[in-house]
């Protein structure tokens, strides 16, 4: 179960994901280590969200292997995958609008590993949420909702956190606040896989990145090793 350089926390090997006969992801290889921040960039429809769905066990059909902490998780139920330590911050936040902030957060704890991250940590990171904990989540602003969504995911005590478009539709200041938490998450040894359309933001925080185009990895590396032009070429497939 230990994660070494040889066996990363998450290893996606030769994975294809299908919607019916449509191949949304085509033979992709991606790894994420413990405490490593990996960004997946790509235009709309490149297959970024599909890849996250495949990892969490919500894709229709997956070929190839996805292993987490050494165990293959392809075909496992989402419940079991989450329980073993992968948690998703879904695109569009997907909070339960009629539940209170606290109830939403508690669901994260209940589905997760029940380890060291507890409510105190969340209240410390997001003091504003503590004041609003009895409010219905649907009444919060977009930024506050994203904090709840992130808090919910962290309370599951993931070893790997999947973030799907967390900056989408939010004011830049709020996004800064959210991304400011990433180093702390990394320090806890949690691997983070970030999917973003905002390339600048995504590359600024990442240790490594992959660029997806039409379901294939067209470029991969460390953000410091590539030029902006090179990334743009592969992003748009020019």
Residues in the site for another protein, rule: CB under 8 A? 56, 58, 77-79, 81-83, 87-88, 90, 94-99, 103-104, 106-108, 110-112, 152-153, 156
| Minimal distance, residue 171 CB to another protein, in Å | 23
Query: Which DSSP state fits 133?
Result: T
Question: Of 23 and 83, which has the nearer Cβ to another protein?
Answer: 83
Neighbours of 226 (CB within 10 A): 16
Question: Of 104 and 206, which has the nearer Cβ to another protein?
Answer: 104
- CA-nearest of 168, 203, 121 to 108 is 121
Burial of 47 (0-12, 13-18, 19+ CB in 10 A): buried
| Minimal distance, residue 53 CB to another protein, in Å | 8
| Minimal distance, residue 62 CB to another protein, in Å | 16
Question: Of 16 and 100, which has the nearer Cβ to another protein?
Answer: 100
| Minimal distance, residue 200 CB to another protein, in Å | 27
| Minimal distance, residue 65 CB to another protein, in Å | 21
Counts of helices then strands in the chain (DSSP H, E): 10, 10
Question: Of 105 and 213, which has the nearer Cβ to another protein?
Answer: 105
- For residues 45 and 1, give the distance between their C-alpha atoms in angstroms, rounded to a whole number: 34
| Minimal distance, residue 84 CB to another protein, in Å | 10
CA 77 from chain center: how many Å?
18
Question: Of 163 and 199, which has the nearer Cβ to another protein?
Answer: 163
- Six-digit token pair at 113? 């590993």
Q: In what order do the strands lie in the sheet with 71-72?
A: 22-32, 10-19, 61-68, 71-72
Count of alpha carbons within 13 Å of 210, Cβ hemisphere only? 22
Question: Of 192 and 205, which has the nearer Cβ to another protein?
Answer: 192
| Minimal distance, residue 219 CB to another protein, in Å | 28
Which residues, other chains included, contact 192 with Cβ-Cβ below 8 Å and sequence gap of 6+? 32, 36, 37, 38, 160, 161, 163, 182, 185, 186
Q: How far is CA 108 from each of CA 38, 86, 154, 168, 213, rounded to the nearest angstrom?
A: 23, 12, 7, 22, 32
Question: Of 87 and 231, which has the nearer Cβ to another protein?
Answer: 87
Count of alpha carbons within 13 Å of 22, Cβ hemisphere only? 9
């Amino acid at each position: 179960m230990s994660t070494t350089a040889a066996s990363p926390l998450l290893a996606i090997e030769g994975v294809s994901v299908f919607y019916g006969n449509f191949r949304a992801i085509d033979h992709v290889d991606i790894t994420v280590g413990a405490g490593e921040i990996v960004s997946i960039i790509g235009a709309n429809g490149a297959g970024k969200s599909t890849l996250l769905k495949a990892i969490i066990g919500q894709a229709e059909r997956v070929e190839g292997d996805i292993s987490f902490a050494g165990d293959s998780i392809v075909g496992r139920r989402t419940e079991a995958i989450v329980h073993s330590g992968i948690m998703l911050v879904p695109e569009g936040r997907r909070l339960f609008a009629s539940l209170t902030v606290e109830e939403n957060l508690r669901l994260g704890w209940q589905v997760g590993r029940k380890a060291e991250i507890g409510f105190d940590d969340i209240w410390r990171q997001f003091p504003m949420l503590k004041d609003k904990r009895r409010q219905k989540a649907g009444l919060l602003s977009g930024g506050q909702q994203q904090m709840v969504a992130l808090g919910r995911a962290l309370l599951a005590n993931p070893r790997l956190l999947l973030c799907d478009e967390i900056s989408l539709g939010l004011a830049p200041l709020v996004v800064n606040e959210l991304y400011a938490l990433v180093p702390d998450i990394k320090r806890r040894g949690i691997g983070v896989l970030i999917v973003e359309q905002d390339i600048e933001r995504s590359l600024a925080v990442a240790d490594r990145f992959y660029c997806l185009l039409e379901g294939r990895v067209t470029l991969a590396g460390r953000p410091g090793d590539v030029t902006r032009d090179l990334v743009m070429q592969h992003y748009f497939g020019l």
